[in-house]
Amino acid sequence: MRDQKPNILFILTDQQRRDSMRAYGNKWIKTPNLDKLADKSFVFENTYVTQPVCTPARASIMTGLYPYATGLQRNNIPLSRDIPTIGEMIDDEYYKAHMGKWHLGDDMIAQHGFDTWEAVEDFHRLRVTRKEYRYKEAPYNQWLRDHGVEPPSVKVSYEGWVGEAELTEEQTQAGFLGHTASKFIREFPESEYGDQPWMLYVNFFEPHPPYTGPLNDLYDPNEIEVGPGFRRRPDSGSLVNRLRSDYYMGGGTNPLGEAGGDVHDTTTEKGFRKLRAQYFANVTLVDNQLGIIFDSLEASGQADNTIIVFTSEHGEMAGDHGMLEKRTLYEEASNVPFLLHVPWMNNSIQTRIPGSVGQVDLVPTLLDLSGSDIPEHLEGKSLREVLTGKTDLSDNDVFIQWNGMGDRNLGSPEINRMVSVPWRGVVTGDRWKLNLSPGDRCELYDLNSDPAELNNLFEDIENKDRIRDMAARIRIWQDKTGDKMQLPTI
């Protein structure tokens, strides 16, 4: 470990697919700043969220624990003050800043060890903010007013408002965060805390729906690439995924987005392509702001001592399997980008990390790289030896789950019933995926020969022993983590 502790710049987007940048095979998208970062980073080829929906995944990213341990097994549950985040676990020498989406309870005030707090949305204020702060506004509201826009009512979410707001790039939450994070980085060396290392979490809302934004015309829908699963109903898959595919390809969209004007024709390939093109345009919207942040880091003279992490809390189906959003264990929703730049390890080269890894490992890895103690209660493990080449991920099993009770309306009573059924999944080191549910058709995919997950092999007799072995891995993981979901009989 170097004598001077490194700064940490952690960039988290919301609902960004793995294949949304050149480092993961997308040859047409415009993400020059992520490309530049990838060229000097460890690029993890397969990174899985713990649960493909906002609050549970975000809690794991911040705590190093699986959803059962955090108690956040669905959206809109506050993170207990008794469960520490990395803001409370990292060495006390660090100055810690959090900007953007929180989604773990009270969005408005500094908490869980963070010294600086820049909120972006008032929507959760009436429901979870302590009474003494119920009239405190998010700084983003003033940013909107300064740019000639009246903020949405506290009763309306950004998701349900921005679809009709017709914002410029600068007026979006991404624009606010690009400015605010850059200002923090530029000014920190001259601040009263300038002799301390800093840790900055920048949490973007985009490219989360609505599937619209200021760059809607950036990509020609007819020219964007689509894969073999695009608008292909998952006939061999689970009932919940078949129901959702039928709903979306029958013209359904996100009910929350519809309320804010995010309406698309999903009955045709033309309509789905337009939606998909606008989704990827919002990835570029974020990338533009990352360029501003990275330029500020270079200009401040701190780049050579700053770890940069880039990942997303879950992905987006964007028409694959005929589906939208997340809430499924398919690769498009559960496998996300993960770039890790450690200046003293790979300052000018890209290093690919094959195999699979889980986001539960992020906290212990950053604690390790920062020279902080790693608490024994963490369920993730440090990836330091993977970075140094002392070990690899060839035998690493990664576990994914779904706990759907209490989720919002997803379009129909049938979907709402089936999405309440839990799942547990494992991706083994040899790139097979098993998804088990006590109340739906289970799934087995060979990700080597079928990366688009088009052929469910669960019923094939020749795979029975493989299924038994993979199910045993899930059971062992459940025992270690205290997970109580009952698996189906194999």
CA distance 321 to 28: 22
Cα–Cα distance list, 314 to 56, 183, 244, 326, 333 (Å): 10, 28, 18, 7, 6
Low-confidence ranges of the chain (pLDDT < 70): 1-3, 126-129
Tokens of 398: 């990664």
Contact 321/232 with Cβ under 8 angstroms? yes
Q: In what order do the strands lie in the sheet with 338-341?
A: 116-118, 95-100, 198-203, 7-13, 306-312, 338-341, 42-44, 351-353
CA distance 117 to 237: 43
Location of structure tokens 């906290």: 363
For the chain, list the domains and their CATH numbers. Answer: 7-389 (3.40.720.10)
Contact 285/215 with Cβ under 8 angstroms? yes
pLDDT value for 128: 65
Location of structure tokens 């200009």: 299
pLDDT value for 1: 41
pLDDT value for 490: 87
The model carries a pTM of 0.96
